[in-house]
Each structure stands twice: as C-alpha cells, then as structure tokens.
Amino acid sequence: MKKAILATLIIIAVCSICFAGTVNALNPGYTTWNFQGVAPTIDGQVNPAAEWTDSYHDRLYNGWTMTTSTISIKWNMESGIFETWLIEVLSDTTNDAGDWFQICYDGDTAGAGAPATDDVLINYTGHTTSTAFRGTGTGWAPDAAIVFPDMAQIASSIAASPASATPHWIIELKYAKDGTTIPGMGINTCVRLAVYDASTGQTLMWPPMTSKDVPSGWGLNSADISGGSIPEGLTIGLMVALSSVAVVVSARYFRKPKKL
C-alpha cells in the first residue's frame, strides 16, 4: 500500500512539473516543431489534398481538453524564410462576422509577464480583416508597419478537407521570419494561437489556458534548419508524463521477485 501511494505521488509530481509552464520564461510542456516543406498556396483551402502532409501537426484545446481541431506548421524558402500555418476548426461550420483568429509571437523566446517590443500579435476578424499589434512592455499597440498581405498573408474559408468532409473553418497564414521584413522575429520564437466561434461562444487555443497578454505561457516554436523527421504531435509534457508513468509501472510490476 505504501508503495502504491508513493507511485501515485511521483506521477502527480511529474504532471505538476509538466503543466506549471505559465510561471516560467516559456511553457515547457508545449512545443511545435517547424520543418521545411513545400510552400502551400495561401487560399484558405487544403488543395491539393496533400498540401500539408509534410508539416508538423498538433491539436487545439478547449480549456484543458484536446479537441479534434488541428494546427499544422512548416517553413519554406522563397525570397526569404517564410513560416506557414494551417488551422482547421472542425467544430465551426458557420461563417460569422464575430468569428476571430489570433496568433501571437515572442520574437526572441524571452518570455515575460507582459508583451515586449519584439512580440507581435495578429488578429483576423470576421473572416476578412487583418490587424497587427506590437508589444509595448505593458500591453499592445497597433503596428502600422506590418502591412497585409505584403508581410503577413491570411486567407480562410468554410470548406471540406482531408480532415473532415463536413465544411468547416479553414485558415491559412504566411509570415516572414527573416527578422528584417518584420523586425524582432527570430527563427525560433514562442507562439500562441486562439480561435473564437461566435455561433457557440467557444474559444479554442494552443497552448491551453493561456493569455495573449502573458508571453511566459506561450509554447516554443522550434525550427529545424538541418533536416530531419517530423515528430508526432504529442506535447513534451505529455510525453514526459507518459514515460514517467511507464517507469513507475515497470518498477512496480517487473521488479525481481523476492528470494524464498
């Protein structure tokens, strides 16, 4: 009984470490892996069907609950380095003026309790309007220097895709990452995404339970520039927790039997 209690406490401690990221410089439990892929057409549709198969995939969260809605990310080389995103909100099948999508970047992965001057926020509202903001050290202010679609391009539609035959909200984003087109943007950044469905009042996000105003809670957006295999979309926190549970279970049930 004592050993069972100890095992439980170990598991709780590991999970607490994994989900305590909001008080650190960045959220250690959540990372996107950004690999080079073929440049997609930014039209708000997954066309051709294999357009995003060479990207890293993860899920959006409703509170702490992982949903079926997805995010995909990759970078490509054109006139410079561009980062591209695909967001599929499978639960949103309507085109509402009150819908919005939001992506935040911490340009140098420093993390902070408030947006810094190398932090960028892009809002996309009503499926039509893009607006950029830059951190001031205490909050956000409009940044007219970020021009759409020249420096950041967003397109969306309600359409079917390989993820679901039911037409749903699809968002595609292309964003310069060379540090000159949009000052302050490094190759590795921290990032937060959120989508709001006006018809249900539901907000989905990655990482879960985070705020646009607190960069220390955002996840790491780690770019691979040397080439490699794209990992599965498990968060680091979950992988560590599962690994630790496996170790505890192994120690409990596969230890050497006592000698008689």
Taken in order 181, 184, 187, 188, the sign of the CA dihedral is negative
Please answer whether residues 21 and 30 qualify as being in contact, where contact means their C-beta atoms are separated by less than 8 angstroms.
yes
Distance CA 196, CA 204 (A): 7
pLDDT by 10s per residue, the chain, length 260? 444 444 433 333 434 333 333 334 567 789 998 899 999 999 999 999 999 999 999 999 999 999 999 999 999 888 778 899 999 999 999 999 999 999 999 988 888 899 999 999 999 999 999 999 999 999 999 999 999 998 899 999 999 999 999 999 999 999 887 767 788 788 888 999 999 999 999 999 999 999 999 999 999 998 876 555 555 544 434 433 433 433 333 333 333 333 33
Best CA proximity match to 75, nearest among 239, 182, 245, 226: 226
Retrieve residue 9's tokens.
């406490």
Asked if the bond preceding 48 is cis, omega within 30° of 0, the reply is: yes
Predicted pLDDT at 96: 95
Three-state SS letters, the chain? CHHHHHHHHHHHHHHHHHCCHHHCCCEEEEEEEECECCCCCCCCCCCCCCCCCCCEEEEEEECCEEEEEEEEEEEEECCCEEEEEEEEECCCCCCCCCCEEEEEEECCCCCCCCCCCCEEEEEEECCCEEEEEEECCCCEEECCCCCCCCCEEEEEEEEEECCEEEEEEEEEEEEECCCCCCCCCCCCEEEEEEEEECCCCEEEEECCCCCCCCHHHCEEEEECCCCCCCCCCCCHHHHHHHHHHHHHHHHHHCCCCCCC
Predicted pLDDT at 81: 84
Q: How far is CA 232 from CA 10, 68, 236, in A?
A: 26, 15, 11
Best CA proximity match to 192, nearest among 21, 16, 36: 21
Predicted pLDDT at 14: 38
Predicted pLDDT at 213: 96
Q: Return all residues near 239 (Cβ < 8 A) that are at least 6 apart.
A: none
Predicted pLDDT at 88: 98
Predicted pLDDT at 30: 93
Predicted pLDDT at 259: 34
Predicted pLDDT at 244: 40
Distance CA 46, CA 259 (A): 62
All domains of the chain, ordered by start, with CATH?
Answer: 26-231 (2.60.40.1190)
Distance CA 43, CA 236 (A): 32
> If 0-12 CB within 10 Å is exposed, 13-18 middle and 19+ buried, where does residue 191 land?
buried
Predicted pLDDT at 4: 46
